[in-house]
């Protein structure tokens, strides 16, 4: 069991002047972004699509033959398709840029002995950052303090199971390193920043991924083959017709014109028009329902989806928990929408509050305080000081907090699995089993049932 005093090992952090000097020397704590693509670069990329190449080739042949109307129509279709896809990409990029600006992360950092909020881009090696549940680790670092700290490192490792952490050297079996971009899912602590920006593990991973060339989609590969087949076939037939009329009939000019006309007839110019416009319209329709599509080729991948699997918590559900019942001495109290709690349930609610952390991102702790603040007000914490925290372990499925009041003694409040709580109490085995059975019955109703 990890026991960490709440204020143990905290440092004053860097001086502001020193932090600014390091920031100027090292650079901001941001991952290197890709070089922005110019408008001409986008146009060239879109115009290099096989079907648009075929469309432009057909327009050029019409111009050579003197059919200006057909050539202009095909050119207009090509320009319309390119313009529509350019507009869609521009709007998606602007929306993504706005989202990045809104979600620009802040970090709690100690500077000049005070805890302040700063943009994570301003962090430098040596800063002391404060980590809390539900927050992203702003940079790579080493833990100075930790209390029941668990971090989701799936961004780097792909493993969905959170990794328990401990302060450097406190528990040899638990790592002390934390990595930028990972998510704190439980507990809290402080860490000294060791690496920022591109030097973090996430930065190194991003650099390696950026070197991987994007594969063509199935539609792009198929249309590319189709264009090559039609191109080769048209050249062969046109060449054969030209040679026939030139060598056998002696009319080379007529042979060239006939060959070009036959090649034009073989090119399916309607197909690239329809394909380009349908993809662009598909991107536009998806944007109307809030789906950002940066490239029209992504429409193909989305259209091939037959089963969409999403995370439940925070996606289908709200990732919010509410306290529904208090159960004491086999009496159940529905606390939804009530601002008061009968005196018989006050000790239970007080115990649950003192076993929880105010300001925690844990949904259960927040649900307890939502009810307690309305029913008990400031009575819960008035006159009490937190002394120790005891975290949940695999051996003991409960957490506890030790409080010091106005007297000399300590009050220890705990909450957790009913089996663990009843095992701590001096009660008759039959009574303990009755409590566990009642908790299981409530759990059968779809409720989450901790004991306190």
> Token pair for residue 4?
């960490």
> Token pair for residue 105?
């992360």
Q: What secondary structure, in 3-state letters, does 1-59 show? A: CCECCCCCCCCCCECHHHHHHHHHHHCCCCCCCCCCCCHHHHHHHHHCCHHHHHHHHHH
Report the alpha-carbon distance of residue 101 to residue 12 in Å, rounded. Answer: 30
Q: State the maximum Cα–Cα separation within the chain, in Å, rounded to a whole number.
A: 118
> Token pair for residue 118?
């700063």
Own/partner contacts of 169-175, CB < 8 Å, gap of 24 or more, are 170/2, 170/4, 170/146, 171/2
Say how many C-beta atoms besides its own lie within 10 A of residue 154's C-beta: 14
Cα–chain-centroid distance for residue 292?
A: 15
Say how many C-beta atoms besides its own lie within 10 A of residue 62's C-beta: 21
161 DSSP assignment: S
Report the alpha-carbon distance of residue 407 to residue 445 in Å, rounded. Answer: 42
Is the distance from CB of 401 to CB of 371 less than 8 angstroms?
A: no
Collect all residues with Cβ–Cβ distance below 8 Å to 35 and sequence separation of at least 6: none
Is 127 tagged catalytic? no
Which of 132, 210, 209 minimizes the C-alpha distance to 178?
132
Catalytic position from the list 215, 311, 334, 408: 311
Sign of the C-alpha dihedral computed for residues 262, 266, 269 and 272 taken in this order: negative
Which of 397, 415, 423, 399 minimizes the C-alpha distance to 349?
415
For residue 140, the surrounding DSSP H or E stretch is strand 140-152
Report the alpha-carbon distance of residue 317 to residue 323 in Å, rounded. Answer: 16
Report the alpha-carbon distance of residue 95 to residue 118 in Å, rounded. Answer: 24
Is the distance from CB of 224 to CB of 216 less than 8 angstroms?
A: yes
Residues taking part in catalysis: 311
């Amino acid at each position: 069991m990890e026991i960490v005093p709440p204020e143990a090992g905290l440092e004053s952090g860097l001086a502001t002047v020193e932090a600014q000097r390091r920031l100027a020397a090292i650079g901001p704590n941001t991952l290197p972004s890709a070089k922005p693509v110019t408008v001409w670069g986008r146009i060239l990329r879109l115009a290099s699509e096989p079907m648009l190449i075929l469309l432009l080739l057909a327009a050029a042949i019409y111009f050579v033959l003197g059919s200006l109307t057909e050539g202009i129509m095909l050119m207009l279709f090509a320009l319309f398709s390119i313009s529509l896809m350019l507009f869609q990409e521009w709007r998606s990029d602007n929306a993504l840029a706005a989202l990045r600006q809104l979600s620009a992360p802040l970090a709690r950092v100690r500077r000049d002995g005070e805890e302040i909020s700063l943009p994570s881009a301003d962090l430098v090696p040596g800063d002391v950052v404060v980590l809390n549940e539900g927050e992203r680790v702003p940079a790579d670092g080493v833990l100075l303090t930790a209390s029941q700290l668990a971090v989701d490192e799936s961004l780097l490792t792909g493993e969905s199971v959170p990794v328990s952490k401990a302060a450097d050297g406190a528990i040899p079996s638990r790592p002390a390193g934390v990595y930028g971009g990972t998510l704190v899912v439980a507990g809290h602590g402080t860490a000294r920043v060791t690496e920022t920006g591109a030097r973090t593990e996430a930065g190194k991973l991003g650099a390696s991924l950026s070197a991987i060339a994007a594969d063509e989609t199935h539609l792009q590969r198929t249309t590319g083959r189709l264009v090559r087949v039609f191109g080769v076939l048209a050249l062969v037939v046109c060449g054969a017709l030209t040679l026939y009329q030139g060598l056998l009939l002696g009319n080379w000019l007529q042979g060239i014109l006939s060959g070009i006309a036959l090649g034009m007839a073989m090119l399916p110019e309607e197909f690239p028009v329809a394909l380009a416009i349908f993809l662009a319209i598909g991107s536009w329709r998806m944007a109307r329902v809030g789906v950002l599509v940066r490239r029209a080729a992504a429409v193909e991948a989305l259209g091939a989806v037959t089963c969409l699997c999403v995370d439940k918590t925070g996606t289908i559900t709200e990732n919010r928990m509410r306290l529904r019942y208090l159960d004491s001495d086999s009496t159940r109290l529905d606390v939804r929408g009530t601002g008061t709690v009968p005196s018989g349930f006050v000790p239970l609610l007080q115990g649950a509050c003192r076993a929880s952390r105010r300001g925690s991102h844990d949904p259960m702790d927040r649900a307890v305080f939502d009810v307690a603040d309305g029913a008990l007000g400031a009575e819960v914490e008035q006159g009490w000081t937190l002394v120790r925290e005891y975290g949940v372990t695999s051996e003991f499925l409960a957490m506890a907090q030790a409080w010091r009041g106005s007297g000399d003694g300590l009050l220890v409040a705990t909450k957790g699995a009913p089996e663990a709580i009843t095992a701590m109490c001096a009660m008759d085995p039959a009574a303990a089993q009755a409590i566990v059975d009642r908790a299981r019955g409530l759990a059968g109703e779809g409720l989450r049932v901790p004991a306190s």
